[in-house]
Structure 1
């Protein structure tokens, strides 16, 4: 590992190239560049998750933590790891302070692996508009997490308003086990759907997105039944026949179907790194997510929006001092 204190972008780029040569170019077959935007308190969590994801998708990991963007004095500290604690990949952890943090792309872009896609993941509350963050504008795929927001359901509406093809959210990824079981439950049944009920907390974005997915797929608006966790789905078929999935405490779910014995199915939680790895499997627009987000929030035409974003300059210091805007 190489540590660079109070350095600059050029020195970081040269140090990464030097460390790669010393390690024998261990990451010559990179599939993508993963840019992680994170708060300082979550850096270790982000490193652990990115390491798990990189085991399945070899990538160059660039972790960016930004501080005190309103202060004039800038500083860049960096750690470079090649084949070290973050597994058999290349990683750069950078802490940017001051006005440099508003121009993070000037340091990050020279570090991107050549000729491979770029994925940006916010392991924190993302900007309301991705175009305000240049690290999102340069990405081919953008991963947010509504669960990180103080109001997760309102965050879904924000994501819908700002959606562009290539966006996705880990709250959606967490519904994958449920969607898999629900789809399998209908293998033995056909006919009209009369009602759908999802049991989940009112502020659970995964429950809201799961309900949106079922609305988009079945054409029926689900009702939400309050619960402490996302714990069950009930579908009422024609004639009042219910098919129900109910989560158990032992990482399983019970599937109840009329005329058939109950089935015990696996429904285990996943580590953050496994959720991230799932999203890195595909870099094309996630159309099922767009449909679920549209159905859940009422936003329309998400798939028709342009996937290309243009950076919109946003300065938090000027936002707090509007008179400075008019003085320019």
Structure 2
């Protein structure tokens, strides 16, 4: 069910939510958190779909704040709202707030009256994120703040911005997308021979901040010389292309030449195909919502690991 509330107020939205629960039996009981999605007009539906899918694992209230920061300052102040419940909202309640003019200047006030009482707040910027998420209006009220470096105008540069502005509770999907890669590499290194790694080389597309974060994580964990190569998008697939680990007994290579499938080569062992698909928005969001405490490892990688890396190599050859 979708209820439209044109030219309204947050107070009226709250009253309508109560009325819907009383008349239709839709309750907020069991909601474990409030997810605030800050997005731009026209980009709401993809984020809402991901949140609806993730809500089946994490029942929550979803508040979507849609505004255009480049809008003319003298535009008419107006708030249009939309409430989605039942089949249109997965296992959540979705409140869409489309603000313009002066109504969009104070995003914090827009959502404060709609937050679930005593429930943690997670703010997610699926598109362009503020320079310092922890100091943004919707970031100040959140226990966790989720950004996506890959959607920024300069994906690689945004990592260094995230590092300089990092606040415990920050998270980024560039890190979340590494879960499968990290698990596979950890499994490889957990097998004999237990020889130290003497060199690391990571290759990926230049628009893949995950490539840089993977190199930073390996540099931090293995304490070995680490290089990373960023190739033009035109010369290969998006995302991470491969990892090469050097040790005395030979080289371990995990290379993804086919979308979703990586090839694992180890000295003295058969070649294996490993499933390494690129994680979609739903998987990344559900993964991040599994923990509401700060991700200390991500914080260490983004602040310390990046500083240990040198400059990227710009080549057109895959690892």
TM-score, normalisation: structure 2: 0.89
Q: Over residues 273-306 of structure 1, what are the superposed CA-to-partner deviations in whole Å (9 max), with x where a residue is unaligned? A: 111100000111111211221245329xxxxxxx
Residue equivalent to 2:24: 23
Residue equivalent to 1:55: 56
Residue equivalent to 1:162: 165
Residue equivalent to 1:141: 144
| 3-state SS of 2:167 partner | coil
Q: Which runs of 4+ in 1 moved over 6 A?
A: none
Residue equivalent to 2:280: 271
Residue equivalent to 2:226: 222
- The whole-number CA distance in structure 2 between the counterparts of 1:248 and 1:17 is 53
- Root-mean-square deviation over aligned CA pairs: 1.6
Show the 5 A alignment for 1:2-13: 2-13=3-14
Deviation at 1:231, TM superposition (A): 1.3
Is the alpha carbon distance of 1:128 and 1:221 closer, same or farther for their aligned partners in structure 2, counting shifts above 3 Å? farther
Residue equivalent to 1:235: 245
Paired residues, number = 298
Q: Which runs of 5+ in 1 are unaligned?
A: 300-328
| 3-state SS of 1:41 partner | coil
- The whole-number CA distance in structure 2 between the counterparts of 1:172 and 1:133 is 21
Is the CA contact 1:185–1:255 (under 8 Å) kept in the aligned structure 2?
A: no
Show the 5 A alignment for 1:295-310: 295-298=304-307
Residue equivalent to 2:315: none
- The whole-number CA distance in structure 2 between the counterparts of 1:268 and 1:87 is 25
- The whole-number CA distance in structure 1 between the counterparts of 2:295 and 2:169 is 7
Q: Over residues 190-241 of structure 1, what are the superposed CA-to-partner deviations in whole Å (9 max), with x where a residue is unaligned? A: 12211000011234201000101101111124211344331110000135x1
Deviation at 1:107, TM superposition (A): 2.0
Deviation at 1:131, TM superposition (A): 4.5
- The whole-number CA distance in structure 1 between the counterparts of 2:45 and 2:90 is 14
- The whole-number CA distance in structure 1 between the counterparts of 2:91 and 2:57 is 11
Task: Decide which moves more: 129-138 or 33-42.
Answer: 129-138
Q: Which runs of 5+ in 2 are unaligned?
A: 309-319
Deviation at 1:72, TM superposition (A): 5.8
| 3-state SS of 1:193 partner | coil
Deviation at 1:250, TM superposition (A): 5.3
| 3-state SS of 1:180 partner | helix
| 3-state SS of 1:92 partner | strand
Residue equivalent to 1:287: 296
| 3-state SS of 2:87 partner | coil
Residue equivalent to 1:322: none
1:34 aligns with 2:44: no
- The whole-number CA distance in structure 2 between the counterparts of 1:212 and 1:23 is 51
- The whole-number CA distance in structure 2 between the counterparts of 1:142 and 1:180 is 24
- The whole-number CA distance in structure 2 between the counterparts of 1:129 and 1:155 is 11
- The whole-number CA distance in structure 1 between the counterparts of 2:122 and 2:288 is 10
Is the CA contact 1:212–1:294 (under 8 Å) kept in the aligned structure 2?
A: no
Is the CA contact 2:205–2:241 (under 8 Å) kept in the aligned structure 1?
A: no
